[in-house]
Structure 1
Amino acid sequence: MPSRLLRLPEVVARVGLRRSTIYKRMSDGRFPKCRSLGAKCSVWVEAEIDAWIENVVRSGNQADH
């Protein structure tokens, strides 16, 4: 099944982090980067978010990855 593109509200709901935390971790290289689909449209690849969540689970629930 192909991966979907997720908008910010869905990413926030899935990972339990606030918008500001997501963008801070993206800039630190600790969260998947978003893609721009236009001037005001950013999306994340669902498979990358799923992999990040799986990594958090595997590493002992440390969300700092």
Structure 2
Amino acid sequence: MPLLRLPSVLQATGVGRTTLYERIKDGLFTPPIKLGARASAWPANEVQACNDAIIKGSDTEEIKVLVARLVQGRSLLK
């Protein structure tokens, strides 16, 4: 599963850094995965899933459920 760094996520979502982090804080986008002390990235499939939900017209609560499910799914990876 490819990982996307911040510039790629911003380009894929079409939003700015502040908006992205506001969405994360509000539970409307998955938080990044820490790769090290100063590096973070997002799984590409999670970015795509969030974009798909917005394109589909999902409401805020549906997106929050999706994000929670995606984050929970991280713990199931081996």
Q: Name structure 2 gaps, 5 residues minimum.
A: 64-78
- Equivalent residue letter for 1:36: K
Tell me the equivalent position of 1:32.
30
CA distance in 1: counterparts of 2:23 and 2:6, whole angstroms: 14
Deviations 1:2-54 (A, max 9, x none): x2100000000110010111111101101111110111101001000000111
Tell me the equivalent position of 1:12.
10
Tell me the equivalent position of 1:58.
56
Q: How many residues were matched structurally?
A: 61
Superposition CA RMSD, Å: 1.6
Percent sequence identity over aligned pairs: 34
- The structure richer in strand per residue is 1
- Deviation above 6 Å: which 4+ runs of structure 1? none
Tell me the equivalent position of 2:67.
none
Q: Name structure 1 gaps, 5 residues minimum.
A: none
Matched position secondary structure for 1:38? coil
